Amino acid sequence: MQSLWNDQEAATFGTDLLGQRVYTSRLLGRNPSLVLHGGGNTSVKVTEQDFFGDSVDLCYVKGSGWDLATIEPAGFSPVRMEALIKMSKLATMSDEDMVLQQRAAMTNPNAPAASIEAILHAILPFKFVDHSHANAISALTCNADGEARVKEIYGNRVIIVPYVMPGFILAKTIADLIAGRDLRKDGIQGMVLLKHGLFTFDDDARKSYELHIEMVTMAEDYLAKRSATVPVAGQSPASETPDLMALAKLRQAVSKRRGFPQIARLNASPEAVGYANLANVATFGTRGPLTPDHSIRTKRAPAFIGEDLDASVQQYADDYAAYFQRHASGQTMLDPAPRFAIWPNQGVVCFGDTLKDAKIVADISESTAATVQLGESVGGWEPLPEKDIFEIEYWDLEQAKLRKGPARKVHQGKVALVTGCAAGIGFAIAESLAEQGAQVVGLDIDKDIPDIMKKIGGIGIVVNLTEDKPVQDAIDFTVREFGGIDIVVSNAGIFPKNDHLDAMAQGDWDRTIMINLTSHQKLMNKVIPFVKQGIDASIIFVGSRNFKAPGPGASAYSCSKAALTQLCRVAALELAPNKIRVNIVHPDAVFDTKLWTPEALQKSATRYGMTIEEYKTKNLMKVEIKSKDIGNMVSAMASPLFAKVTGAQIPVDGGNDRVI
C-alpha cells in the first residue's frame, strides 16, 4: 500500500491541526481497502479558547454520519477532553449516558454526535489518532493464530487488543492495557484490535497516517508470502449473458422478505463469478463479515443461491430467524432478507432500498470477497462468533445510524420504465416518479435523452420504439442494472398534421399508427414477462381525450388513441391474474409542451375567439392543465392508492362537456 500524501495538496488544507486532520482523514477514506462508507474514525487534540476566552482542551473526533473520504472540518465534533477522561475512569456507563454526556461536553452543540470511540481517542496520549478497518488486518487476525501473527509482524510496536464490544467497553479495556505505561518511551505506535481493525497515532498528522500505511503494508506482505492461492480474477469468465429473468425472480423473492421493493445490483465480473464458483464458498463465504461494523449494512452473512431461487431465499430467512432466536434478549427481529447473495455461475447480487444503498453493499461485498478468500487461503477464515456479530447488528447505537435517513418514499426501491420522456408530459411523468423514489429509465428517440434523464437522477437511452432489438436491449439493460421492472409508462406518441381523410397521405397514417399503437404493443410483448416478476407492478398508458371526443382532421391520432385504450383494456384482462394493474390516463389541452409554441397558442386562441389565457382554461372547471398534473396523476396511479384499480380510464382535462 502506498502513501497518498502530497505536499502541495496538503498545503491547501492549511497548517492548523484540524486542517491537517481533515486532509489525512481523507487520505484514509480514499482507499477502499482501509475504510468503506462511514467506516473508521480519526481525531486530533487541540487547545482552543471557548466563547468566554478561556483555554479549553478539546478532542476533535469524527462525527457520526460522516464519511472519511469526504469529511470537512464541520464533520468533526469538538468534545472537552476533561469530560472524556472523567468518563474513561467510570466503572460502568450505559450507551445512552455515554452519548448524552459526549453531547453535553461538546463546545458546539450544532456539531454532529461524536463517534462512539471518542473516549478511546481521548485516552491515547497523542495529538493524532487514526483508526481503520483495513482488509489486510481482517485477513491477518480473523484466524485462530491471529494474535501470534500480529506479534510476529509488529513485535512490540503495537498493543494487541482482544475483541470486545466497541464504545465504552473497548475504551475501558484499552485504558486498563495502557494504565501506568509511557507509550512513547515504550515505542508503541499503534494497536491491533483482533477481528476489528488498526489504530496508529503520533503528534504529527503525516507520521500517524504513514504509520498506518506502513503497518497495513506489513500485513499485506505477510499474507502475500503465505497465500496458498491467487485471487480469482480471470479464473471464471464474466457472465456476459446473465440470466435476467432469474435475476428478476431473485429480486422479487428478496423484496417480499424485506417487505419493500429492492434495487438489485448484479456483479457479473470475472472476479465475482470466480468467487461464486469457488469450492466450499457456501461455507467459508457465509461465516461472517470482515469487521462487525459491516453487519448493519450486510447482516451477518450473505445468502447462497442454489437452483431453486425462492427456496434459497426462504432458507436464508429461516436461518436468520433461528440466529435471532439463539441470541435475542428482548429485541424485535429485523427483516430476514439478505443484503447480498453469492450466486454460482452468475456472480454476486447486492440489494438495497435505493440505488445508493445497493451500491454501498456492493462495495462492501466486493471487499469482503477478496479478503475472505485471502483469509481462507492463509490458514482459514475465522471471523467473530455470531453472538458478537448479533450484539453489533442489534446494538441501538449502530441501528440509529440507519434510522437517520429520510422517510420512505412511495416508489422507493421500484424501477420504472418510461417511454417518450424527453419533454412535456413524458418528462413530467418521469420526474414525478423519480421524486417519489423510483429509479427511472427513460426511452426516447431524442439524442439528448441521456442528459435529460440525468436531471432527475435517471438513465436515458436513445431508442426508436418501433424497432424490436433496441427495445429489447433497453429492457435487458434496465433489468441487468437494477434487477427488474415494476412500473411501465407507455407514453411515446406523435400528433400528425391535421388532414381530412380524403387529403391524408398514407405515410402519415401508417407512421402514426406505428408509433402511437404498434410500438406500444411491441413494448408490451417484450416487457410483460419482466413486469410479472415486479413488485406491486403497474402498467400505465397515456391516451388522449380524442379517443372519446375526436375532431375533424385528426383521424390517425384519434383512431390510434382509441385503439391504445382498447389495448389497455385487453392487457388489464390478461394481467389481472398476475396482480398487475393496467390503467390509462387521458390528458387534454396540456399546453406547456414543445408542440405548443407561443405562435401556435395564439393561432388556436384566435380561431376560437379567445385570449390565450381563456383558451388554456376552456374546460368546465376553467383550470389550466399542466404536464406536471399528468405526471403526478401517473405517479399516483402507480402507487398503493390505486392498488385495487385496473382497467380504469382516468381523464385529466378539467372536465370536457363532449366527454362527460
| Residues catalogued as catalytic | 557
All three cell numbers of 130:
487514526
Pairing of the two strands 41-49 and 55-62: antiparallel
Whether the CB-CB separation of 215 and 130 falls below 8 Å is answered with no
**Placement of cell 385487453 in the chain:** 570
Whether the CB-CB separation of 270 and 237 falls below 8 Å is answered with yes
- Report phi then psi at 434, rounded to 5: -65, -40
The CA distance from 255 to 262, in Å, is 5
Burial (CB < 10 A; 0-12, 13-18, 19+), residue 2, is exposed
Q: DSSP 3-state assignment of 94?
A: coil
Q: In this structure, what DSSP letter does residue 649 have?
A: E
All three cell numbers of 613:
389565457
- Report phi then psi at 613, rounded to 5: -65, -40
- Considering only CA atoms, which of 333, 470, 455, 315 is closest in space to residue 390? 333
Burial (CB < 10 A; 0-12, 13-18, 19+), residue 125, is middle
CA dihedral over 472, 475, 478, 484, signed as positive or negative: negative
Pairing of the two strands 340-343 and 347-352: antiparallel
Q: Residue 480: how many CA atoms within 13 Å on its side-chain side?
A: 15
Q: DSSP 3-state assignment of 655?
A: coil
Whether the CB-CB separation of 395 and 301 falls below 8 Å is answered with no
Concatenating the DSSP letter of every residue in 332-378 gives PPPP---SEEEETTTEEEEEESSHHHHHHHHHHHHHHHHHHHHHHHT
Measured from the Cβ of residue 308, the count of other Cβ atoms closer than 10 Å reads 10
The CA distance from 526 to 393, in Å, is 42
Whether the CB-CB separation of 216 and 137 falls below 8 Å is answered with yes
Secondary structure in 3-state letters for 434-480:
HHCCCEEEEEECCCCHHHHHHCCCCEEEECCCCCHHHHHHHHHHHHH
All three cell numbers of 115:
463517534
Q: DSSP 3-state assignment of 548?
A: coil
All three cell numbers of 497:
398534421
What is each CA distance from 69 to 23, 40, 78, 106, 152, in whole angstroms?
9, 10, 20, 24, 32
Concatenating the DSSP letter of every residue in 595-637 gives T--HHHHHHHHHHTT--HHHHHT-STT---B-HHHHHHHHHHH
What is each CA distance from 34 to 5, 135, 150, 299, 394, in whole angstroms?
15, 6, 18, 20, 24
Q: DSSP 3-state assignment of 382?
A: coil
